[in-house]
């Protein structure tokens, strides 16, 4: 078996950023590079393969080699609010708060520090960042502007805009990552017209002839998610207002389209309520959805949009596949109490459940064998720290901080850590632990009619007035009428009493 590199992760507290080695741990985690010590910075970001680490300082971005700890380059960019590497680490994209018409969106060459592209960007959001999207091989890049999507040659930005997709009202775009064959565009509801999502072939994008399209109402925002292989697109459509007044956060619907145009429709969810999370499997052949009024339901679908397995119900709003697609974590974070369940994809059995309350961030390690949760500031100012669990839910390590800002795994390319089956010990645990009560499917029993709180007390008083014993009272179940046997018993007791009196 080939030697694989050790896992590494960063932690950032008021004293700075440290790159630590592990797990597994023998004692306390050790700093990877003693010569670096703790790096003063306000943020950090790894490249996708983990080979580079960019840290944000007040006056510059500093890029380090994470294998040697060597400083590679300093980019003189002050006041950077967000920074992200392109998929292969060729470019570093930064955003600064705009001052006038300053070109504040910049694409830097990560080796030379030279500016590759510089444009104006008014603002960014969690869903719109990064503004410039790349395919996984960086052959294609795109950027959404008013009523248009601009297409670039990802290997040569000096060519300028090489193609355009013009679509009035467009508000969202997602470039297929691997391969870069298609692009998806979203247009929200406008003046009574329904929202729609369209898929275009990149080779003919300027003709604006879609190969797949779906229209729907009740949507003013949408999240677009391609699978690996660029054959399927999930669309989580949301509206700010729920006209049925069932959900404070609005309504959500999940749609599915294929890039060959053979399928378009709503994903058949079997429970009403919000959709909390949707995640494609790393293999691109199936996806998970957690949805419905609490307790939420979790369902596994294939690429034909057919349900494969029901994980039952529980207090969940978060799900993650490990990078190999072999293990699944279901959890309830945020305003939920922190229930976590670990599942094996092959056997579709639950390893273990546990509690990880007040979790702010959580993610699998790149080797898929560990899961880290963290409670960080400024989201939470107390109980800061991180916990590491094994893939089967076994606690492995925990460290508390007075204040922790960040805890993040160093990522790795998908071919670095091969998939490994559960160990025999985990298999034994798996055979003993069935799906916990919090994730068991409901029996589907029909709820009884509503009875006001005083009804039970009224029934008891009436039963006593009629002379019923406790057994008869339980058999009637309410004050509404007596059974024939109860009436006969009542008459028999009355006759005996009259005979005794005479």
**Percent of the chain as helix, strand, coil, to the nearest 5:** 10, 40, 50
- Nearest Cα to Cα of residue 257 among 197, 217, 216, 301: 197
386 vs 391: CA distance, rounded Å? 16
Greater model confidence, 497 or 249: 249
Greater model confidence, 457 or 408: 408
Give 208's pLDDT tier (boundaries 50, 70, 90).
Answer: confident
Q: What is the pLDDT of residues 436-445, one digit of tens each?
A: 444 343 333 3
Structural domain boundaries of the chain?
A: 41-124, 130-266
Q: What is the pLDDT of residue 476?
A: 37
Q: What is the pLDDT of residue 425?
A: 67
Is 352's pLDDT higher than 90? yes
Is 169's pLDDT higher than 70? yes
460 vs 464: CA distance, rounded Å? 6
Please say whether the beta carbons of 236 and 252 come within 8 A: yes
Q: What is the pLDDT of residue 52?
A: 96
Q: What is the pLDDT of residues 99-134, one digit of tens each?
A: 888 899 999 999 999 999 999 999 999 889 999 999
Q: Going by CATH, does the domain composed of 41-124 fall within 2.60.40.10? A: no
Give 460's pLDDT tier (boundaries 50, 70, 90).
Answer: very low
Bridge partners (DSSP) listed for residue 64? 53, 71
- 464-495 burial, b at 16+ Cβ within 10 Å, e below that, comes to eeeebeeebbeebeebeebeeebeebeeeeee
297 vs 315: CA distance, rounded Å? 9
Query: Average pLDDT, stretch 313-324?
Result: 96
Domain topology for 130-266: Methylamine Dehydrogenase; Chain H (2.130.10)
Query: Average pLDDT, stretch 356-372?
Result: 96
Is 434's pLDDT higher than 50? no
**Residue 164: CB partners within 8 Å, gap ≥ 6?**
148, 149, 150, 151, 205, 206
- Nearest Cα to Cα of residue 149 among 198, 103, 191, 104: 198
Query: Average pLDDT, stretch 487-496?
Result: 58
Written as six digits, the tokens of 136 are 């996984």
Residue 295, preceding bond cis, omega within 30 degrees?
Answer: yes
Written as six digits, the tokens of 193 are 């017209």
Q: What is the pLDDT of residues 34-83, one digit of tens each?
A: 767 789 999 999 999 999 999 999 999 999 999 999 999 999 998 999 99
- Top mean-pLDDT range of 33-47, 88-102, 448-462: 88-102
Is 2's pLDDT higher than 90? no
**Residue 477: CB partners within 8 Å, gap ≥ 6?**
none
80 vs 77: CA distance, rounded Å? 7
Q: What is the pLDDT of residue 214?
A: 95
Q: List C-alpha distances in Å: 57 to 51, 82, 96.
A: 20, 12, 13
Q: What is the pLDDT of residues 142-161, one digit of tens each?
A: 999 999 999 999 999 999 99
pTM, two decimals, is 0.81
- Domain 41-124 shares a fold with domain 130-266: no
Q: What is the pLDDT of residue 187?
A: 95
Q: What is the pLDDT of residue 432?
A: 39
Give 27's pLDDT tier (boundaries 50, 70, 90).
Answer: confident
Q: How buried is 263 (Cβ within 10 angstroms: 0-12 exposed, 13-18 middle, 19+ buried)? A: middle
Q: What is the pLDDT of residue 452?
A: 41
Q: What is the pLDDT of residues 249-266, one digit of tens each?
A: 678 999 999 999 999 999
Q: What is the pLDDT of residue 241?
A: 64
Query: Could you tell me the strand order of the sheet in which 395-400 lies?
Result: 361-364, 370-375, 385-390, 395-400
Query: Average pLDDT, stretch 478-499?
Result: 51
Q: What is the pLDDT of residue 498?
A: 53
Per-chain mean pLDDT for the chain: 85
């Amino acid at each position: 078996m080939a030697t694989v590199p050790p896992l590494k992760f960063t932690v950032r507290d008021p004293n700075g950023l440290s790159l630590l080695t592990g797990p597994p741990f023998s004692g306390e985690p050790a700093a990877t590079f003693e010569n670096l010590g703790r790096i003063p910075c306000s943020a950090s970001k790894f490249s996708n393969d983990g080979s580079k680490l960019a840290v944000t300082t007040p006056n510059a971005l500093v890029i380090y080699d994470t294998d040697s700890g060597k400083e590679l380059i300093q980019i003189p960019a002050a006041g950077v609010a967000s920074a992200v590497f392109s998929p292969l680490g060729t470019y570093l994209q930064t955003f600064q708060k705009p001052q006038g018409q300053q070109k504040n969106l910049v694409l830097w060459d990560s080796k030379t520090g030279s500016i590759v592209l510089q444009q104006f960007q008014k603002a960014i959001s969690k869903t719109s960042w990064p503004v410039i999207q790349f395919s996984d091989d960086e052959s294609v890049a795109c950027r959404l502007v008013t009523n248009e999507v601009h297409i670039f040659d990802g290997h040569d930005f000096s060519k300028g805009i090489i193609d355009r997709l013009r679509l009035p009202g467009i508000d969202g775009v997602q470039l297929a990552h691997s391969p870069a064959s298609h692009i998806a565009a979203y247009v929200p509801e406008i003046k009574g017209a329904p929202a729609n999502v369209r898929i275009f072939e990149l080779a003919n994008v300027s003709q604006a002839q879609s190969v797949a399209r779906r229209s729907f109402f009740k949507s003013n925002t949408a999240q677009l998610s391609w699978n690996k292989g660029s054959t399927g697109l999930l669309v989580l459509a949301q509206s700010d207002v729920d006209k049925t007044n069932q959900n404070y956060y609005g309504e959500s619907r999940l749609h599915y389209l294929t890039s060959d145009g053979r399928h378009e429709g709503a994903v058949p969810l079997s429970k009403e309520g919000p959709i909390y999370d949707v995640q494609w499997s790393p293999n691109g052949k199936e996806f998970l959805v957690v949805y419905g009024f609490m307790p939420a339901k979790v369902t596994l679908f294939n690429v034909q949009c057919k349900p494969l397995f029901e994980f039952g119900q529980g207090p969940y709003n978060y799900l993650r596949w490990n990078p190999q697609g072999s293990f699944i974590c279901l959890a309830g974070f945020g305003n939920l109490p922190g229930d976590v369940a670990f599942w094996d994809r092959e056997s579709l059995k639950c390893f273990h459940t546990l509690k990880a309350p007040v979790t702010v961030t959580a993610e699998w390690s790149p080797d898929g064998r560990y899961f880290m949760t963290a409670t960080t500031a400024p989201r939470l100012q107390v109980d800061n720290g991180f916990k590491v669990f094994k893939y089967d839910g076994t606690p492995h390590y925990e460290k508390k901080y007075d204040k922790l800002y960040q805890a993040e795994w160093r990522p790795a390319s998908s071919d670095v850590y091969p998939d490994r089956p559960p160990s025999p010990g985990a298999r034994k645990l798996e055979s003993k632990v069935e799906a916990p009560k919090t994730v068991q499917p409901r029996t589907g029993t029909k709820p009884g009619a509503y009875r006001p709180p005083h009804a039970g007390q009224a029934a008891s008083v009436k039963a006593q007035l009629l002379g019923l014993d406790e057994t008869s009272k339980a058999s009637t179940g309410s004050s509404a009428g007596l059974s024939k046997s109860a009436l006969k018993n009542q008459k028999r007791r009355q006759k005996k009493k009259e005979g005794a009196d005479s």
